[in-house]
Structure 1
Amino acid sequence: MACFLSQTQIYTGGKVVVTRKFHPRDTLKIIEQEKVTTTFMVPTQFNVILELPDKDIYDVSTIRSLVTGAAPLSTRTKEQVIEMFQCDLHEMYGLTETGLITNMKPRDALRKVRCVGQPFFYMEMRIVDERGHDVPHGEVGEIVARGPLLLRAYYKNQDTYNDAMVDGWFYSGDLGRVDEEGYLYLVDRKKDMICSGGVNIYPMDIEEVLHSHGMIREAAVIGVPDSKWGEAVMAFVVLKEGEEMTEADVIRYCKAHLAGYQVPKSVQFISALPRNPSGKTLKRELREPYWIGQEAKI
């Protein structure tokens, strides 16, 4: 996404500052020294910047707009980012296979919670059920899209491509819903949904609550095997530097903000979540140890 967005600067004779490695303090220094006007960061990068005790000593007033994507931005983080940078914030949703699909414009950034905006003019998007039929506004279904940037094939993997493409539409594997104004809300990855006691549980709902806690930097929720319920909710929590919490503390907080069936049955504290180069959490790596020897797939 960052590469796509930097093309505008290149085409208009602007300057693009590229760093070898992300470091929160160095990023703020570069913004100040180079008078950066636009930058792209994933939620994890915003979170570690917000934790810097000396973040306010850097002049970031040249920033006119920030762009984020790759993973959902929690409401708490979004509010803090806007307060710190005092600029426009665009939250975008897209896939490698489709290019950018939607853009949450700054005027709606805080009005629409957990929303990633409306489709770009060149993209078509639908929300469909298991049979490929459109679902009504407000109902959850799979996000499918098509447009001029659509991938033509997977290298040496035509079968996977054929499974994802149906009648010219790319099936994203993401669950979402669209409101009456045409705004898209991400619900979760289809494969990440937890089925516990016959009830569908969306990890993103639980993660949003965990991210709202002042001591938690980031969190991920998965389903683990359970002999009674089929799957049980488990949370992985990364605390902010210097903070301390117990499993009981986390569960107590969740009970105050979630329905009973959504509350994690167990909590693991880890130093960092596994992520791919684009910043997306690798939940498969979190699930794998718990599903070894199980008949169900992860």
Structure 2
Amino acid sequence: KPFGDTEIMLQNGTLHLRGTQIGGTSSEAASSGQPSSDSWFDTGDLGRMDQQGRWIIEARRDDLILSGGNNISPLRLEQAIAQHQTIEAVIVLGVDDTEWGQRVVAIVEPNPTTDESTLQAALHPVALDTWIKKQKNIHSYERPKEWIILPEGKTIPRTAIGKLARKEARALLGDR
């Protein structure tokens, strides 16, 4: 829910804010204590309102993958893939592709408590492709075209607060 006099507007799926505490309001509006009617701040966040009237942030616009004319939310795909029992963490990135614009690549950090033979079988690309096809909430165009399985001891980079670090994770892609 918005704080204080902050207003939220959804425009083309992107959240915009305005209010006296939001940068970009006019000095006249700030001195009067009223939000400026023409100073909306584009957050770059894609979101929606749930049935209880709460705003849900679903992804960053810059993180969207555009593949074959389809917008793919990496966060939604990561949440689905993370349900796999042998996956500790996953990050989904878009990689430039001459045919599709971008292709979906999933970098997987295996669950360290799973034995090696189970990991090798379950995290084989064919096994992962078969598993992801069975997920009812994942469209065929969203499925990863490539799976990168990190070796034992290697992890997906994270920020200081534990969030997956997308920019740093790109280094794991090498020259792709």
Same fold, TM-score > 0.5, yes or no = yes
2:134 matched to 1:256?
Answer: yes
**1:170 maps to what in 2?**
41
Quick one: distance in 2 between partners of 1:291 and 1:196?
Answer: 20
Q: Deviations over 1:75-106 (max 9, x none)?
A: xxxxxxxxxxxxxxxxxxxxxxxxxxxxxxxx
Q: Where does structure 1 lack aligned partners over 5 or more consecutive residues?
A: 1-117, 130-140, 153-165
**2:22 maps to what in 1?**
150
Choose the corresponding residue for 1:201, options 50, 58, 72. 72
CA drift of 1:186 comes to: 2.3
The amino acid that maps onto 1:231 is Q
**1:217 maps to what in 2?**
88
Quick one: distance in 1 between partners of 2:140 and 2:71?
Answer: 13
- 1:50-129 alignment to 2 at 5 Å? 118-129=1-12
**1:273 maps to what in 2?**
156
Quick one: distance in 2 between partners of 1:167 and 1:278?
Answer: 35
The amino acid that maps onto 2:14 is E
Contact in 1 for aligned 2:6/2:22 (Cα 8 Å): no
The amino acid that maps onto 1:282 is A
Partner-residue secondary structure (3-state), 2:79: helix
Partner-residue secondary structure (3-state), 2:156: coil
- Quick one: higher RCO (CA 8 Å, sep 6+), 1 or 2? 2
CA drift of 1:290 comes to: 5.6
Contact in 1 for aligned 2:6/2:17 (Cα 8 Å): yes
**1:135 maps to what in 2?**
none
Considering fraction of residues, name the structure with more helix. Answer: 1
Quick one: distance in 1 between partners of 2:14 and 2:78?
Answer: 20
Partner-residue secondary structure (3-state), 2:75: helix
Cα distance 1:279–1:263, how it changes in 2: closer, same or farther (>3 A)? same
2:124 matched to 1:246?
Answer: yes
The count of aligned residue pairs is 152
**2:34 maps to what in 1?**
none
Contact in 2 for aligned 1:223/1:287 (Cα 8 Å): no
Q: Deviations over 1:204-249 (max 9, x none)?
A: 2211111112221211111112221111110011122132122222
TM superposition score normalised by structure 2: 0.73
Cα distance 1:289–1:214, how it changes in 2: closer, same or farther (>3 A)? closer
Contact in 1 for aligned 2:10/2:16 (Cα 8 Å): yes
Contact in 2 for aligned 1:225/1:291 (Cα 8 Å): no
TM superposition score normalised by structure 1: 0.45
Q: What RMSD, in angstroms, separates the aligned Cα atoms of the two structures?
A: 2.7
The amino acid that maps onto 1:261 is Y
2:65 matched to 1:185?
Answer: no
Bigger mean CA offset, 185-194 vs 244-253:
244-253
Partner-residue secondary structure (3-state), 2:45: strand
Q: Where does structure 2 lack aligned partners over 5 or more consecutive residues?
A: 25-36
Quick one: distance in 1 between partners of 2:171 and 2:156?
Answer: 14
Bigger mean CA offset, 270-279 vs 255-264:
270-279
Q: Deviations over 1:48-81 (max 9, x none)?
A: xxxxxxxxxxxxxxxxxxxxxxxxxxxxxxxxxx
Choose the corresponding residue for 1:283, options 150, 166, 176. 166
Quick one: distance in 1 between partners of 2:101 and 2:174?
Answer: 12
